[in-house]
Chains A and B, each alone.
Chain A
Amino acid sequence: MWRILVLSACLVLTGCSEGAASSNRGLYMLIDTSGTYTQELDKAQQIISYALTRMESGDAFAVARIDTASFTEKNIVAKVTFDDRPSAANQQKRAFQEAVAAFVKDTRSSAHTDITGGVLQAVEFLREQPVGRRTVLIFSDMEEDLARGYVRDIPLSLDGVEVIAVNVTKLRSDNVDPRKYMSRLDEWKQRVEAGGGKFRVINDLDRLEAIFQ
């Protein structure tokens, strides 16, 4: 009888850790720093602040920049897994905010835009986190502009990952021919869904709560 009880207790306790992991969220935000898009960084900071208010203990959050070569840990501006204790999590949020503010202040625009590399890096980071929901936020115009020699036409593995493109600004050429804008987003949607992920676009920054739905 006592063996059954011990076994039940073990099962409950094992279940508890899994339950904890599945209720947490992993968020990786890619910020485009190429060309004139650096002018949009204030908006990125606004999104990060909003995300920080919504993150809870056990959640993981990272912010990385998209530049000429984004598939590297060096591009991660700040990353954190929020502590179990709410007070410590609050301190982490403040420190994170300060790190992001410093990045926004000092960042320089890059010559090229490697979004795919950033997504690959994001997926790699998120896979390592013991979280239930994995989300990649791409703060970019979604126009990839690779430097010579960089290979990025590789299939993405995004099973269980949601990719949300935020603040996808229209380029001058998009205004001339809107089909370019639409086809750009369609291409990304197909790439993400082909990799097993979900793709959404949120351009209205007044409804950021949609990120967490």
Chain B
Amino acid sequence: MSWSFDTPVSGLSLLLMILLAVLALYFARATARAALLAAGNTFYRALRLASSATVRAERQLAVRNREVLLAQGREAAERAIEREFERVQTAVKKELADFPAMHRRLSESITAIEEDYERSREVPPAPPGWVKAVQAVADIPKADATVARVLEDMHGSLKKIEEQALTEYRKNSRERHALLKRALPHWRALLENIGSFDKKLSRLLDRAVAIDRHMDDYEEINRGSDSALRKLSASSLSQFFVSMFVLAIAVGGAIINFNLIARPMAEMVGGTNMIGGMKIADIAALVIILVEISMGLFLMESLRITRLFPVIAALDDRMRVRMIWITLFFLTALASVEAGLAFMREILVQDELATSAMLRGETAALAEPRFLWITTAAQMGMGFILPFALTFVAIPLESFIHSLRTVLGVLAGAVLKLVATLLRVLASAIRGLARSLVYVYDVVIFLPLWIEGRVMAMRGGARAAEGRA
């Protein structure tokens, strides 16, 4: 059945229905108003509660992020300090091991120099005892010819003695100079030894400065200062992006590696069988690459370059060295297998090309290219080198995993903050909406409300008149 405003009866009944509905709404006004406001308040409180819970969660997450960041920073600082101490230990062992020998050499040099110095000391010539007698004779008046002759004789004797003394003195000086000259190499050796010792000590002092710096960082991290946190956070983010970039490069390397061995792998495991829509040959190639990466991880772990597996880090040194050799052996074996597969790939490609050429009826293409060995050698080389290159994936992977915790924490914190804000906004919006709905409700029933207002005004006027009377 359909109705239209064109038919007066239907229009009237519709008007009546609207009037009745408005009346019903008017009578239910107080309850509806209370219900709308209550619903609005309920939603408001619930959303505010949810927002508060989200804020609390965000705060807890921030605390956890802070702890994670500090723990990572502490660990990194500890590792750096440990490395520095190891370096100092190595330096002390290596560079100061010959210290006793050097000390002996220094002592010998000093003793030799002392001895030479002692021997080269100049002894002042003793004043001759007859100088006073000569003086007395010289005081005798020279008029006497005998005295003059005696004096001349004495003068001659003195000159002779002087020459002898001078010669003796020169000889002694020469000997002393020779002794001093002999001490020159000792001086040089002494200087050289002291210089080398000084350099070694400087290097050790540099290490000590580095340790001091790391210790300062460590103390700051332990204090949990804001500057340390900021530094760690920035470092973590940069590490995340850098490691991601390096990992992307490694993935490229792995894809090249995969393409090198996937095709010949079909010769070993068949080219048609599939698991989950993937060829078994492809899966086998992928597994080989993943095993290589795992071996690389174990090797890096055993070398204590990375610390992803505490079990390996906790192994005693003998076992660790064994593990290094075992993983290296497996890596070399897998690299050799890959080189073989790369060679096989080239043979297969040539075979396929020859077959295709034969099927197309081309005889010229059947001749082997002249420079085929270059591509074959390059493929084999890549097949051998790439597994070892992939070993180093462990380093960016460790950085990525460590920094990922921080980055995820920061992201989760930001999301929680956003959710809390949205919940608060939604809560306010719903409360506002409930209030608006109350007004809308009043708009719908404006006519009864207006009448009510008039009636109330009239009653108020009557009461006032009665009061006045």
Contact = CB atoms under 8 A, between A and B. Distances in A.
Interface in A66-109: 84-87, 89-90, 93-94, 97
B266 A57 contact: yes
A211 to B, nearest CB: 15
Interface in B348-389: 348, 351-352, 354-356, 358-361
A84 B271 contact: yes
B272 A15 contact: no
Given A49-B361, A53-B356, A87-B348, A15 B266 contact: no
B122 interface: no
Given A86-B352, A94-B358, A16 B276 contact: yes
A132 B258 CA distance: 28
A57 B272 contact: yes
B275 interface: yes
A88 to B, nearest CB: 9
Contacts of A13: 275
Given A53-B356, A93-B355, A94-B355, A86 B274 contact: no
B271 A58 contact: yes
Interface stretch (A17-25, A33-41, A182-190, A191-199): A17-25
Residue from the set B272, B276, B352, B354 with the largest chain A CB neighbour count within 10 Å: B272
A173 B54 CA distance: 86
A208 interface: no
A52 B348 CA distance: 17
Nearest to B266: A86
Contacts of B356: 53
Contacts of A90: 351-352, 354-355
Residue from the set A50, A86, A93 with the largest chain B CB neighbour count within 10 Å: A86
B263 to A, nearest CB: 7
Interface string A1-16: 0000000000011011
A94 B357 CA distance: 11
B308 interface: no
A86 B348 contact: yes
Contact of B360 (A16, A53, A56, A85): A53
B277 interface: yes
B274 A85 contact: no
Contacts of B276: 12, 15-16, 19
Given A16-B280, A85-B266, A86-B266, A58 B272 contact: yes
A19 B277 contact: yes
Interface residues of B, number: 23
A30 to B, nearest CB: 20
Given A16-B276, A52-B359, A97-B358, A87 B267 contact: yes
Contact of B263 (A12, A19, A56, A86): A86
Given A86-B266, A87-B351, A90-B351, A49 B272 contact: no
B359 A97 contact: yes
B368 to A, nearest CB: 16
A17 B280 CA distance: 11
Contacts of B359: 49-50, 52-53, 93, 97
Contacts of B352: 86, 90
B273 interface: yes
B270 interface: yes
Contacts of B263: 86
Interface in A29-66: 49-50, 52-53, 56-58
Contacts of B270: 57, 84-85
Contacts of B354: 90
Contacts of A12: 275-276
B275 A16 contact: yes
Contacts of A50: 359
Nearest to B344: A87
A97 B356 CA distance: 11
Interface in B386-436: none
Interface string B271-293: 11111110010000000000000
A94 B272 CA distance: 20
Nearest to A23: B274
Residue from the set B273, B275, B355 with the largest chain A CB neighbour count within 10 Å: B355
Closest 9 CB pairs of A and B: A84-B270, A58-B272, A57-B271, A19-B274, A49-B359, A16-B275, A90-B355, A20-B272, A85-B267
19 contacts: A16-B274, A16-B275, A16-B276, A19-B274, A23-B272, A49-B360, A49-B361, A57-B272, A84-B273, A85-B266, A85-B267, A85-B271, A86-B266, A86-B267, A86-B352, A87-B267, A90-B352, A90-B355, A94-B355
Given A20-B273, A57-B266, 8 more contacts: A16-B275, A20-B274, A23-B274, A50-B359, A56-B271, A84-B270, A85-B270, A93-B359
